[in-house]
């Protein structure tokens, strides 16, 4: 499983930011999701604005067929690259 659904959010691990990103699946214009947790596709693109070390950072990407395609405006080393979306860690408390 590369993405999970919890509390109306899709959650995945971003290898560029090395942290989880939450994508809301509610509201006026929610993302579309192909319902495949092993090879997810979301539409449209996802853009997170994060604050790190007092600086605003951007992580902008598409998730297509289980791959994460980073846009060139992302502020990390994977900007412009296409990489495999990592497996979501199993919950150790279950």
Give the pLDDT confidence of 17-56 residue by residue, as tens digits: 999 999 999 988 889 999 999 999 999 999 999 887 888 9
Asked, for residue 58, whether it belongs to a domain, the answer is yes
Asked, for residue 91, whether it belongs to a domain, the answer is no
Asked, for residue 21, whether it belongs to a domain, the answer is yes
Q: Which of 6-10, 25-29, 30-34, 60-64 has the lowest mean pLDDT?
A: 25-29
Conformation bin of residue 34: beta by default, left when phi > 0, alpha when psi is -120 to 50:
alpha
How many structural domains are present in the chain? Answer: 1
Asked, for residue 89, whether it belongs to a domain, the answer is no
**Stretch 68-84: mean pLDDT, rounded?**
97
Q: Does residue 73 have a pLDDT over 80?
A: yes
> Which residues are within 8 A (CB) of 72 and not within 5 positions of it... i.e. 6 or more apart?
79, 80
Asked, for residue 93, whether it belongs to a domain, the answer is no
Asked, for residue 11, whether it belongs to a domain, the answer is yes
Cα 61 → chain centroid: 7
> Range of 79's domain?
4-84
């Amino acid at each position: 499983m590369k993405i999970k659904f919890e509390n109306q959010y899709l959650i995945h691990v971003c290898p560029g930011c090395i942290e989880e990103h939450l994508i809301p699946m509610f509201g006026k214009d929610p993302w579309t999701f192909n319902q495949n947790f092993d090879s997810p596709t979301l539409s449209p693109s996802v853009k997170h604005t994060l604050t790190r070390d007092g600086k605003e950072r951007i992580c902008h990407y598409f998730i297509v067929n289980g791959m994460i395609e980073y846009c060139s405006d992302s502020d990390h080393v994977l900007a412009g690259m296409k990489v495999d979306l990592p497996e979501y860690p199993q919950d150790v408390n279950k």
